[in-house]
Amino acid sequence: MISRPRLEQLFYTITDPVSGESIHNRISGLTIRDGGLVGLVLAVDGLSRSDAERLEATLMARIRQEPGVESLRIVQTAERGAAPADDNRNSRQASLSEIPGVRRILAIGAGKGGVGKSTISVNLALAFARAGYRVGILDADIYGPSVHILLGITGRATATAEKRLNPVHAHGLAMLGMGIMADPGKAVAWRGPMASGAMVQMATSANWATESGEALDLLVVDLPPGTGDIHLSLAQKLKPSGAVVVTTPQALSLADARRAVALYGQLEVPVLGVIRNMAGMMLPDGQIIHPFGQGGDIQAETGAPLLADLPLDPAIVEASDSGRPLTTGPMATALDKVAGVLAARLAL
């Protein structure tokens, strides 16, 4: 087990290159997750680039010596992103991600298609919005975009004279994706680097901040199924704060989910949990059937904690096809709880 008090005490033993005192005041957002994952925010106000890099290297070396630490993620910021506990969230402007106007990025992935990943992405984003967070959603599935359909968006994205993209707003979310940019009647036939480049450009050239200049608390990124160029570009260039993997109880899906979790681990993106979708269906007589099996121990199967078991519900299909997402019912209730857990793990 990683000792939080030991880590906090460690910060007092490292000297700040500017003040000559300890660096404990530069540290915020310390998180310790299952599997030996440690994350923190390092404020580098007043430091030269070389001093900031040396300080981060020192922290890396010292923390990795601590018992139980398997992976470490340090985010540098020149703004103090951690507000006091009683601060009003609307006043926080710091961006801890690599995207202007966005504080945190949450990637939603799946080892294979057909598990309901996009449906979960949209409805989880809506759950965060119901909790009072400012939320955007980026459809990074370049070849098969569907987020605009799930949100009932028929309009097209626009751009400013400076060629910055304006997200489309629906159901309280700011949304961008190829579904509202490319010709809907034509397939996108791009090689991998072009697709990943388009994803990065959409993310970084969009006006995500509100009209009053307030940053989004969270950008949910709906990734394409599998593991490929877009996943690599997201991790390496946009630095997400965490990822959630969606699977079904079926053994075939779980095998792919394990590979997805392993990839994020290799890319040093913390996997915050797994959502098991289509986990049982209730018949009119009250009997519960399991078309995709019941699955096993998610933690043992994938190495990541189980966030929720979501039912296979015809109402979800109807809501998705109509572009009117569900705001009540078992799925919405379950995802409200998931959003609460993830908000704590993301330090929103």
Provide mean pLDDT across the span 260-266: 88
pLDDT for res 38 = 87
Look at 19 and 278; give whichever has higher pLDDT: 278
Taking the C-alpha atoms of residue 172 and residue 327, their distance in angstroms, rounded to an integer, is 12
Q: Which residues are within 8 A (CB) of 244 and not within 5 positions of it... i.e. 6 or more apart?
A: 106, 107, 108, 109, 120, 124, 271, 272, 273, 274, 275, 307, 342
- Of the listed ranges 46-50, 168-172, 234-238, the one predicted with least confidence: 46-50
Residue 162: CB atoms within 10 Å? 7
In terms of DSSP H, where are the helices of 30-105? 49-63
Ramachandran region of residue 153, left (φ > 0), alpha (ψ -120 to 50) or beta?
beta
- In this structure, what token pair is assigned to residue 93? 């402007």
Nearest 5°: phi and psi at 248?
-110, 170
Per-position DSSP letters for 167-225, written without gaps between them? -EEETTEEEEEGGGTS-TTS-----HHHHHHHHHHHHHSB--S-TT-PPEEEEEEEPPS
Provide mean pLDDT across the span 295-312: 86
pLDDT for res 177 = 94
3-state helix, strand, coil in the chain (%, to 5): 35, 20, 45
- In this structure, what token pair is assigned to residue 299? 């933690």
pLDDT for res 27 = 87
Q: Domains, the chain, ranges and CATH? A: 4-77 (3.30.300.130), 89-346 (3.40.50.300)
Q: Is a pLDDT exceeding 90 seen at residue 287?
A: no
Determine contact, residues 295/327, Cβ cutoff 8 Å: no
Task: Map tokens 């000792």 to a residue.
Answer: 3
Task: Map tokens 């001093």 to a residue.
Answer: 51
Categorize the per-residue pLDDT at 148 as very low, low, confident or very high, splitting at 50, 70 and 90.
very high
pLDDT for res 84 = 33
175-197 burial, b for 16+ CB within 10 Å, e for fewer? Answer: bbbbbbbbeeeeeeeeeeeebbb
**pLDDT tens, residue by residue, 183-211:** 777 777 788 888 889 999 999 999 998 77
Taking the C-alpha atoms of residue 271 and residue 260, their distance in angstroms, rounded to an integer, is 10
Three-state secondary-structure class, residue 111: coil
**pLDDT tens, residue by residue, 75-128:** 777 543 333 333 333 323 333 677 888 999 999 999 888 899 999 999 999 999
pLDDT for res 96 = 62
Look at 131 and 90; give whichever has higher pLDDT: 131
- In this structure, what token pair is assigned to residue 4? 């939080």
